[in-house]
């Protein structure tokens, strides 16, 4: 079996020890991307010249003995809804196909300050609205490296596909209802959605502001911890970012998990879950038991309302956030409109894809006079109940374990014409966003069809270190996270 072995930590250490140069690291990363991207269509842009120029600067710093940063020389990719001064930021939409951000997102600035080097933008569902990365108006569907006829999940599908098919890179994604964790599950990698407020959202093109969170997709929990150590923390440019101190995530990984209490929510194992998914997750729970983790059943009774609550709140916030794309200030502008109303209508009709239009229309409806109380306000009340479920459960346990998705990766085109089927695959991930808790997905095995299964852990708000610690302990005992897919560029 081919294994994914190199890590971003090893790259940093190799540079500091003088065993390699940053330019060599970037050339290798470019080679890997070019080797797999024709099959996967995971990137929207590649920053070859800029990346090599930054690598040369870093090599000069190292030669002079200057401090290079915690992630010196590590190549990183950026989901195409996170602003970078290099290249364009399109959110995979025809409404802003040539938008060049005048600034870097805070997460990008932090990675640059740590010596990391941006190398590419990754494909996604338009404005993050999708669960399969089939809704990209700029690149088209991304393909799963485990089976190229299947979806990689979404909306961070490009990042997940590259994380699985390459090694030694860091991948930024965003998660509004599972957009990091679900593709991590489908592609057999590790993906963390931090607590809401743990990582700055400044520079993220907003989908649903009370749900959006930037995170990372990597081969392992250790790599996720290294990345989160850099990007986490208070940002004065984001009023929703928390002022809490950032833990030493890498140090926390080494603490023993024996004695931790792991909750198994009965509502997260419904009959609709695929039998092999259920079996692999149960086997994963047994691994924790062998590690000395205590398990007990917990109840999250309002779980059945999570998906409709998420759909209403996210659509309402999307309707508000995307109102700015009107053909007047910036973005696509319809030609020769007959008046202002037609300019608005045609610009948005021509620029937005079908899924984005669907969610805008739902959101506008639930915010309209006469329906605001019946739909949006009620959804906000149910959201509070969902959060209270977690608060009650976390009085009994330290973390909660469940499948990441009820199914594995499905064929491209299988669900795209039925929005309700697509929304259903997020049923186990949206609660984390509604409750603002951290969630991590990591591989716990393969099905008989050789498709990855993801195991998910939820933690208390701002206890991201606990979910990372549990995932790391699991990965130190098992080798599922090292398995490489058939489409793989690593040596």
Active site residues: 79, 155, 179
Q: Confirm if 355 and 421 have CB atoms less than 8 A apart.
A: no
Q: What distances in angstroms separate CA 69 from CA 72, 114, 118, 230, one per listed residue?
A: 5, 4, 15, 10
SS3 390: helix
Q: Confirm if 133 and 123 have CB atoms less than 8 A apart.
A: yes
Task: Tell me: cis bond preceding 155? Omega within 30 of 0 counts.
Answer: yes
Q: How many CB atoms lie within 10 A of CB 73?
A: 29
Q: How many CB atoms lie within 10 A of CB 428?
A: 30
Distance CA 45, CA 258 (A): 45
Structure tokens at 302: 């309002």
Q: Confirm if 489 and 216 have CB atoms less than 8 A apart.
A: no
Distance CA 211, CA 176 (A): 5
Q: How many CB atoms lie within 10 A of CB 259?
A: 9
SS3 122: strand
φ and ψ at residue 445, rounded to 5 degrees: 140, 180
Q: Find the DSSP H helices in 146-201.
A: 157-165, 181-187
Structure tokens at 405: 């998705």
Q: What distances in angstroms separate CA 330 from CA 62, 123, 416, one per listed residue?
A: 42, 22, 30
Residue 291's closest CA among 266, 249, 255? 255
Length of the chain: 491
Q: DSSP readout, 70-82? A: TTTT-EEEEETTB
Q: Is the dihedral of CA 347, 349, 353, 357 positive or negative?
A: positive
């Amino acid at each position: 079996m081919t294994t994914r072995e190199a890590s971003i930590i090893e790259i940093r250490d190799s540079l500091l020890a003088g065993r390699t140069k940053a330019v060599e690291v970037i050339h290798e990363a470019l080679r890997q991307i070019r080797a797999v991207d024709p099959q996967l269509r995971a990137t929207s842009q590649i920053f070859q010249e800029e990346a090599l120029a930054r690598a040369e600067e870093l090599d000069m710093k190292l030669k002079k003995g200057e401090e290079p940063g915690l992630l010196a020389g590590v190549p990183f990719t950026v989901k195409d809804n996170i602003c970078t001064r290099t290249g364009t930021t399109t959110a995979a939409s025809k409404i802003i196909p040539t938008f060049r951000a005048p600034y870097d997102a805070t997460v990008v600035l932090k990675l640059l300050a740590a010596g990391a080097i941006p190398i590419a933008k990754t494909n996604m569902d338009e404005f993050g609205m999708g669960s399969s990365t089939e809704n990209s108006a700029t690149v088209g569907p991304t393909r799963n490296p485990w089976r190229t006829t299947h979806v990689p999940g979404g909306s961070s599908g490009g990042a997940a596909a590259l994380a699985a098919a390459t090694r030694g890179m860091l991948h930024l994604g965003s998660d509004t209802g599972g957009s990091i964790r679900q593709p991590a599950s489908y592609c057999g990698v590790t993906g963390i959605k931090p607590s809401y407020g743990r990582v700055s959202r400044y520079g993220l093109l907003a989908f649903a502001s009370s749900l959006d969170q930037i995170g990372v997709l990597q081969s392992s929990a250790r790599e996720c911890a290294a990345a989160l150590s850099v990007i986490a923390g208070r940002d004065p440019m984001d009023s929703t970012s928390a002022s809490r101190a950032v833990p030493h995530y890498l140090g926390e990984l080494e603490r023993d998990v024996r004695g931790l209490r792991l909750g198994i929510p009965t509502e997260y194992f419904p009959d609709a879950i695929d039998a092999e998914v259920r079996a692999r997750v149960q086997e994963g729970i047994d691994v924790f038991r062998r590690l000395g983790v205590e398990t007990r059943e917990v109840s999250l009774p309002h779980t059945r309302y999570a998906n409709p609550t998420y759909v209403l709140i996210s659509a309402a916030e999307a309707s508000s956030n995307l109102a700015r794309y009107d053909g007047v200030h910036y973005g696509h502008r319809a030609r020769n409109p007959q008046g202002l109303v037609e300019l608005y209508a045609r610009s948005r009709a021509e620029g937005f894809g079908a899924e984005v239009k669907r969610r805008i229309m739902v959101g506008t409806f639930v915010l309209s006079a006469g329906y605001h109380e019946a739909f949006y306000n009620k959804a906000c009340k149910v959201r509070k109940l969902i959060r209270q479920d977690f608060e009650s459960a976390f009085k009994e346990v330290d973390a909660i374990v469940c499948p990441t998705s009820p199914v594995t990766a499905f064929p491209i085109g299988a669900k795209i014409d039925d929005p309700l089927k697509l929304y259903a695959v997020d049923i186990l991930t949206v609660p984390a966003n509604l409750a603002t808790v951290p969630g991590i997905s990591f591989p716990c095995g393969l099905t008989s069809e050789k498709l990855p299964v993801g195991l998910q852990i939820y933690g208390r708000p701002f206890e991201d270190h606990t979910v990372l610690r549990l995932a790391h302990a699991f990965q130190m005992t098992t080798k599922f996270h090292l398995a490489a897919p058939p489409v793989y560029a690593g040596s």
